[in-house]
């Protein structure tokens, strides 16, 4: 469906995305995950024929976006981060306008309009002026305009941004219903959201692809980057020796002692396969006759995960690194 090959995009001297290469099959639901400024929206705009790649090629159903933008626009429904809605129109009028712009007319337009009104649960507000709608409804209308012509590819840029928890659940359900019917690309910076919605996740960091994989593959990768933080009274080398035999612990980083540390306290970070081995770590420390003052998992925040993965830009997921003693 989509083949992106070595695509880069510069805005002046600013590099928005670099050397993007990926493929997306028809019917897939792919989530673009990344921090703000990671290049998600730029990538989606490139695919929506709203931005020219500085280099590389993008093909949608074999058509080059630069050479055949008009044909590709017929295949695409796009919801930008701010839904493009005319406030003075009613939902019904707006959808009729959006459908007509995408080539629908007559009975066909009427049928498609009714269909998306039902799909997006807009029946109660079909006659309401858009400017009076809540953010959640506006987002739904935004999705409805993107799918009214039954496009093969639906691109949703931050569809859950600004929604309350109830609206997020509804939006998740709606996107779930669209799966299978369309190829869906969506972007978000909320990890849990993308896990629940997408078949495959494409992580972006600083304009590059940091990782691509299914939820399970990325979870394995995330587990590989879990850490435990320890505070131990005793000797750093003794701690290192004690933890060497713990299965699942890989890399110990001793933090530089603070200037006022006169109590012999060693603070360290231990990379582990899973935080579940905390018990084994505590046993090992105590068995080495070291005073265990604190031991707690450091959950990898999204930012840390990206920073972690950014070093593997452009590579497919490798199995998690094996535990070292």
Partner 1 sequence: MRNVAIIVRRELAGYFRTPSGYLIAAATLLVQGLMFNTRALGGGQKLSAQVLQDFLRDSSGTTTVAAVLLAMRLFAEERQAGTIVLLYTSPVREAQIVIGKFLSAFAVLAIITLLSLYLPALIFVHGKVSIGHIAGGYAGLLCVGAATLSLGVLGSALARTQLVAGVIAAVLIFVLFLTWQLSRVVEPPLGTVLSHLSLYEKHFFPFMRGLIQLSDLVYYAAVVYLALLAATRVVQHQRWQ
Please, which of residues 143-172 interact with partner 1 by CB under 8 A? 145
HSE-up of residue 272 (Cα within 13 Å, Cβ side)? 26
**∠ CA(77), CA(82), CA(88), 5° rounding?**
90
61 binds partner 1 (CB under 8 A): no
Helix (H) / strand (E) element for 140: namely helix 135-147
- Token reading at 61: 């159903």
287 binds partner 1 (CB under 8 A): no
Question: Phi and psi (nearest 5°) for 228?
Answer: -120, 145
* Nearest distance, CB of residue 96 and partner 1, angstroms: 10
Helix (H) / strand (E) element for 228: namely strand 226-233
**Whole-number Å distance between alpha carbons of 250 and 25:** 37
Nearer to partner 1, 69 or 314 (CB): 69
Nearer to partner 1, 101 or 286 (CB): 101
103 binds partner 1 (CB under 8 A): yes
97 binds partner 1 (CB under 8 A): yes
70 binds partner 1 (CB under 8 A): yes
Nearer to partner 1, 20 or 72 (CB): 72
Q: Of 66-74, 203-211, 212-220, 286-294, which segment contacts partner 1 by CB under 8 A?
A: 66-74
253 binds partner 1 (CB under 8 A): no
Rg (CA), the chain: 25
135 binds partner 1 (CB under 8 A): no
**∠ CA(139), CA(143), CA(147), 5° rounding?**
170
91 binds partner 1 (CB under 8 A): no
DSSP letter at 148 equals T
Q: How many CB atoms lie within 10 A of CB 2?
A: 19
185 binds partner 1 (CB under 8 A): no
Question: Phi and psi (nearest 5°) for 39?
Answer: 110, 10
Nearer to partner 1, 132 or 237 (CB): 132
* Nearest distance, CB of residue 124 and partner 1, angstroms: 22
* Beta-strand relationship, 153-157 and 226-233: unpaired
88 binds partner 1 (CB under 8 A): yes
Are 229 and 221 in contact by the 8 Å Cβ rule? The answer is no
Out of 1, 2, 30, 76, the residue judged to bind partner 1 by CB under 8 A: 76
Residue numbers of the site for partner 1 (CB under 8 A)? 48-52, 70-71, 73-74, 76, 78, 80, 82-89, 93, 97-98, 100-103, 105, 145
């Amino acid at each position: 469906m989509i083949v992106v090959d070595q695509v880069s995009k510069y805005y002046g001297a600013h590099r928005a995305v670099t050397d993007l290469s990926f493929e997306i099959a028809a019917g897939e639901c792919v989530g673009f995950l990344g921090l703000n400024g990671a290049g998600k929206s730029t990538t989606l705009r490139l695919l929506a024929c709203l931005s020219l790649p500085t280099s590389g090629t993008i093909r949608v159903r074999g058509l080059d976006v630069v050479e055949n933008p008009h044909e590709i626009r017929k295949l695409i429904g796009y919801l930008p981060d701010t839904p493009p809605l005319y406030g003075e129109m009613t939902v019904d009028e707006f959808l009729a306008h959006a459908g007509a712009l995408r080539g629908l007319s007559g009975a066909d337009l009427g049928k498609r309009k009714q269909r998306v009104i039902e799909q997006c649960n807009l029946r109660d507000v079909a006659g309401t002026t858009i400017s009076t709608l809540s953010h959640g409804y506006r987002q739904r209308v935004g999705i409805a305009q993107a799918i009214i012509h039954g496009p093969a590819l639906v691109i949703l840029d931050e569809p859950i941004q600004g929604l309350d928890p109830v609206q997020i659940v509804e939006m998740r359900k709606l996107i779930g219903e669209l799966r299978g019917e369309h190829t869906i690309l969506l972007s978000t910076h909320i990890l849990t959201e993308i896990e629940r919605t997408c078949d495959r996740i494409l992580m972006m960091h600083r304009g590059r692809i940091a990782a691509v994989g299914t939820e399970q593959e990325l979870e394995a990768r995330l587990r590989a980057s879990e850490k435990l933080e320890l505070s131990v009274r005793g000797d750093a080398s003794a701690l290192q020796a004690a933890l060497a035999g713990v299965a699942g612990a890989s890399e110990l980083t001793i933090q530089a002692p603070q200037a006022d540390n006169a109590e012999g306290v060693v603070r360290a970070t231990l990379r582990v396969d899973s935080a579940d081995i905390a018990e084994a770590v505590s046993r090992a420390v105590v068995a080495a006759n070291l005073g265990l003052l604190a031991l707690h998992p450091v959950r990898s925040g999204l930012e840390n995960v990206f920073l972690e993965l950014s070093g593997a830009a452009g590579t497919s997921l490798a199995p998690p690194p094996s535990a070292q003693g």
